[in-house]
Amino acid sequence: MKRNLLKFTAIAILGAIITLSSCKTDPIEPVDKDATTFVKDANGNIVVTDKGKGTGNYTFKESEVYVLNGLVFVNDGQTLTIEPGTLIKGKPGTGESASALVVARGGKIMAEGTSEKPIIFTAEADNREGTGVSADARGLWGGVIMLGKATTNNLTTDKAIEGISTSEARGLYGGNDDTDNSGTLKYVSIRHGGTDIGEGNEINGLTLGAVGSGTTIDYIEVIANNDDGIEFFGGSVFVKHALIVKCKDDSYDYDQGFHGKGQFWLTTQDTDSDRGGEHDGGPKDNETGTPYAKPEIYNATYISVEGGESKTFTLRDNAGVTYANSIFVNFDKGVDIEYLEDGGTMAGCSYKMWEDGYVHVQNNVFYNVAGQTDGSNVDASVLFKVSTAKDAEGNHLPCPQNIKDAWTLAFAGNTNKVANPGVTANNPVPTNAQTDDMATYPSGFENVSYKGAFGTTNWAAGWTLTFPSK
């Protein structure tokens, strides 16, 4: 009897095991990636919703108004063409439902407007004339993000653009092709963007992640963004004719080893704007990684607001730069260069980069920066300042006087001067043209004979929200 019971128990258990083990173990259901939809809404606008497959090879027509609903990607291998004069709007929304146009790595955008027919990206509530929302309204939608295959100095070749999880492969950028071509942006105005995309990040007006030199970006306006105007994450792209107006954070920002070029860059800031330029060399976990950040920027005009608290630009975390033939006006503070002692190696600081010949701030004109208006009596120590790390109480660590002095001397030593070029936010074309002591242009740059972004005409007039009339 007992033995039978034993047997019975054993068989019952075995039976249960066999039955249960044969359950299906194919557990995971992939998300069906559906085709992107283009659906007309009640206002006759075409609402674009990406369900995983990107825009495909598609053309945004001038005759229509497009509304981006969430993140809309141009996937790898696809080309999105935008006709001149097209109006593209972004729906409101934050986080993963923020609306933005993302040109993924391997995708291409052909957005070639003209000075008569610019391509406009703006908030859903806005209109073509720019009167739908207040001119200074920020953060109403996302922005334009371009991701490419050029190099960065990140620890990993692939990097996820801020605000997008690594789970979305189309948010990755970086590669080994510095001549990569993500397409063309020409006569494009990006307005009122910068919505929160998560984790204290907002979408920049124009985000350029590892965008290569094969890409054309010329005549770009970013106005009233809630974050930076343009932010470069590595890459080698040449951006020409850009104006960044009244953005909340920094006007021009780069990090992760940006080594492209810039010419004719204007910014006009608001009282609450941050730096004219925030320039980091490498990410925190790989600051001295290569390629070094050493972009060449010629003919910039950076105009801040009296009463603001902005710095002209900051060089830190191993950033290098060339700023030449440029004009800086009305900034509360001068140019900051980071100095870190680190046991004498000075590793990861831009001061070291300057000593090593990667920082050239030369042949520029400053006016009313850190209170300096008298060209014959310049206190260069407030214009070219060394910044050290801070201790736990928030006090700057001391910096040797000779270190400070050497950098201050570089102001005059590199043919920078204090003079009034006669530029204002309303008219950035100098009334007192600065044409002396010009730095020589490297190849690829337009060989103009004036400092700043403008000679005698305003190239931004007529196609931007900032300068609507010719």
Partner 1 sequence: MKQVIIILSFFYLSVFFVNAQDRGTIRGNITDKETGEAIVGAMLIIEETEPEIVALTDFDGNYSLENVPINAKKFTVSFLSYKTQIIENLHLIPGNTEILNLILEKVAEDIDEVVVSAKSITNTDAAINTVQKNSAGIINGVSSQQMSKLGDSDAASALKRVAGISVSGGKYVFIRGLSDRYSKVTLNGAEIPGLDPNKNTVQMDMFPSNIIDNIIVHKSFTPDLPASFTGGYINVTTKSYPEKFTLHFSNSIGYNSQANLNEDFISYEGGKYDALGIDDGIRNIPEQANDIPAIYQNDEKLAEISKSFNKIMSTNTKKSFLNHGHSLSIGNQIKLFGKPFGFILSASYDRKFKYYDNGLYAKYDYTHSQNSSGVMNLYISEKEKKGEEDIMLSLLGGFSYKLNRNNSLNISILKNSSGLKSARYREGPRPEDDIYMHEHTLGFQERNFTSAQFSGKHILTNFLNIRINWISSYTLSKQDEPDLRFFSYDNTGINSSAYAVPARFYRFMTENNADNKLTFEIPVNIKGKSAKIKSGAAYTYKSRNSDEKKFDILSQGIVFNGNIYEYLSDENIIKDVNNSPKGIYVGNDTITDSFNSYQAKENVIAAFGMIDIDITKNLKIITGARFENNSIFVENKVPTYHHKYKKAERIYPDILPVFNTRYSVNKNMNLRFVYSKTVGRPAFREIAPYAVYDFKEGWRVVGNPDLQRTLIDNLDLRWEKFGINGDIISASVFYKYFKNPIELVDDARATNTEFHYVNINNSKLYGIEFEFKQHLGFVNLNNFMIGSNITILKSEVEFPVNSNTEESAILKRPMYEQAPWVVNAFLSYDNKEVGLNSNVSFNMEGDKLAVVIRGDAPDIYKRSYPNLKFNISKTIGKNFSVKFSVKNILDKVHKKTYDIEDKEYIFQSYSLGRTYSFSVSYNIN
Restricted to residues 198-217, the positions that interact with partner 1 (CB under 8 A) are 198-202
Candidates 5-13, 110-118, 365-373, 446-454: pick the segment binding partner 1 (CB under 8 A).
Answer: 5-13
Q: How many Å apart are CA 135 and CA 133, to the nearest integer?
A: 6
Residue 390 touching partner 1 (CB under 8 A)? yes
Candidates 3-11, 78-86, 353-361, 415-423: pick the segment binding partner 1 (CB under 8 A).
Answer: 3-11
Instruction: Count other C-beta atoms under 10 Å from residue 3's C-beta.
Output: 7
**Size of the chain, expressed as the number of residues it contains:** 470
Candidates 122-130, 180-188, 211-219, 459-467: pick the segment binding partner 1 (CB under 8 A).
Answer: 122-130
**Using CB under 8 A as the criterion, what x/- string covers residues 237-256 for binding partner 1?**
-----------xx-------
DSSP 85: T
**DSSP character string of 339-391:** ---GGGT-TT-HHHHHHTT-EEEES-EEESBTTB--TTS--HHHHEEEE--B-
Nearest-approach distance from CB 161 to partner 1, in angstroms: 7
Q: What are the residues whose beta carbons fall under 8 Å from the beta carbon of 124, sequence distance 6 or more?
A: 67, 89, 90, 91, 92, 140, 141
Q: How many Å apart are CA 224 and CA 140, to the nearest integer?
A: 10
Residue list 352-381, contact with partner 1 (CB under 8 A) = none
Q: How many Å apart are CA 139 and CA 93, to the nearest integer?
A: 10
Residue of the chain from 47, 48, 50, 239 that contacts partner 1 (CB under 8 A):
50
Residue 161 touching partner 1 (CB under 8 A)? yes
Candidates 26-34, 112-120, 142-150, 421-429: pick the segment binding partner 1 (CB under 8 A).
Answer: 26-34
Q: Could you tell me the maximum CA-CA distance found in the chain, to the nearest angstrom?
A: 114
Backbone dihedral angles phi then psi of residue 21, each to the nearest 5 degrees: -65, -25
Q: With H, G, I as helix, E, B as strand and everything else as coil, classify residue 228.
A: coil
Nearest of 50, 206, 61, 43 to residue 127 by alpha carbon: 43
Nearest-approach distance from CB 52 to partner 1, in angstroms: 4
Residue 393 touching partner 1 (CB under 8 A)? yes
Residue 279 touching partner 1 (CB under 8 A)? no
Residue 25 touching partner 1 (CB under 8 A)? yes
Six token digits for residue 103 = 């040109």
Residue 42 touching partner 1 (CB under 8 A)? no
Residue of the chain from 37, 134, 176, 432 that contacts partner 1 (CB under 8 A):
134
Nearest-approach distance from CB 69 to partner 1, in angstroms: 12
Residue list 294-313, contact with partner 1 (CB under 8 A) = 309
